[in-house]
Amino acid sequence: MTVQELAERLSLTPICVAEPDREVEGGYIGDLLSWVMGNAQSGDAWITIMSNDNVVAVAVLTDVALVILSEGVTLDERVRGLAEKKGVNIYTTPLSSFAIGAKVAALL
Amino acid sequence: MSALSFHFDIDGEDFSSAGEASVAVKKKLRQLGFPSDVIRRCSIAMYEGEINMVIHANGGTADVLVEPDKITMILEDHGPGIPDVELAMKEGYSTSTEQIRNMGFGAGMGLPNMKRYTESLEIDTKVGVGTKLTMVVCV
């Protein structure tokens, strides 16, 4: 399933769409960045409530397919600009990490 | 391919630029055609080192030596040094402040991740003088 399809099926709100055709292969939920660095896999949908610059860096380094900000978290304009520059797909949802994680898992 | 080397200055004041050097290294390794797991391991180790220098040492320098069979990353700072390396290597042990934890760091996974994802990690540290990390990832 592509990022675009996943976003549509789960009614995710786009924040930065850089590579909508990217394939989503798995998922990871976490807010501790070192933990995410060490465990998220390339192609994952990474679900987090963190919204600072480092989310963009970790998304680039782990090569996740997209970041889903849960609990209605959004990015300020500066961080959004950074995501655009680095080509990171970022969406937001009002659902909790647990709830959106369950939905992602059901689709994959 | 002969050895290539890259130098980076890590800005200690600025959390928002932390990760820049790691992202640049990742890009270069990708351009050079290294396998994705090698790139991933280098990226993780380098990022952890970079973040540590920003959190604890007010920045520093990173030198990356790229050879066909291995990638060597040398991170050097003039920060406070690590008083107890054995303790610092324990997963979950952290001296980070609440503010740093709120940013998603300070999980106590930095050095353990560096060890886990590299073939060798050498720590040369002296309290009050600084720390030099040498990490090698084999291809």
Between positions 35 and 54 of B, the ones with CB within 8 A of A are 36, 40, 43-44, 47-48, 51
Residuewise pLDDT in 10s, chain A (108 residues): 999 999 999 999 999 999 999 999 999 999 999 889 889 999 999 999 999 889 999 999 999 999 999 999 999 999 999 999 999 999 999 999 999 999 999 999
Q: Which residues of A touch B105 (CB under 8 A)?
A: 32-34, 54
Q: What is the pLDDT of residue B1?
A: 55
Residues of A with CB under 8 A from a CB of B: 31-35, 37-38, 42, 50, 52-58, 60-63, 78, 82, 86
Write out the two tokens for B126.
């002296």
In contact, B40 and A58? CB cutoff 8 Å = no
B2 to chain A nearest CA, in Å? 25
Q: Give me the residues of chain B with pLDDT under 50, please.
A: none
In this structure, how many other beta carbons lie within 10 angstroms of the beta carbon of residue A65?
24
- Could A54 and B107 be called an inter-chain contact, meaning their C-beta atoms sit closer than 8 Å? no
DSSP one-letter code for B109: -
Domains and CATH numbers, chain A: 3-107 (3.40.1390.20)
- Could A57 and B22 be called an inter-chain contact, meaning their C-beta atoms sit closer than 8 Å? yes
How far from B112 is each of B16, B86, B108, CA to CA, in Å?
23, 11, 8
B104 touches chain A (CB under 8 A): yes
Q: Which residues of B touch A62 (CB under 8 A)?
A: 40, 43-44
Write down the pTM of the prediction: 0.84
Q: How many domains does chain B have?
A: 1
Q: What is the pLDDT of residue B9?
A: 94
DSSP one-letter code for B15: G
How far from B69 is each of A20, B3, B25, CA to CA, in Å?
35, 10, 16
- Could A57 and B47 be called an inter-chain contact, meaning their C-beta atoms sit closer than 8 Å? yes
Q: What is the CATH number of the domain that holds B22?
A: 3.30.565.10
Across the interface, which of B15, B19, B109 has its CB nearest the CB of A38? Answer: B109
Q: State which residues form the domain around B118.
A: 4-138
Please state, in angstroms and rounded to a whole number, the distance separating the CA atoms of residues A59 and A40: 9
CB neighbours of B138 closer than 8 A, spacing ≥ 6?
Answer: B69, B70, B119
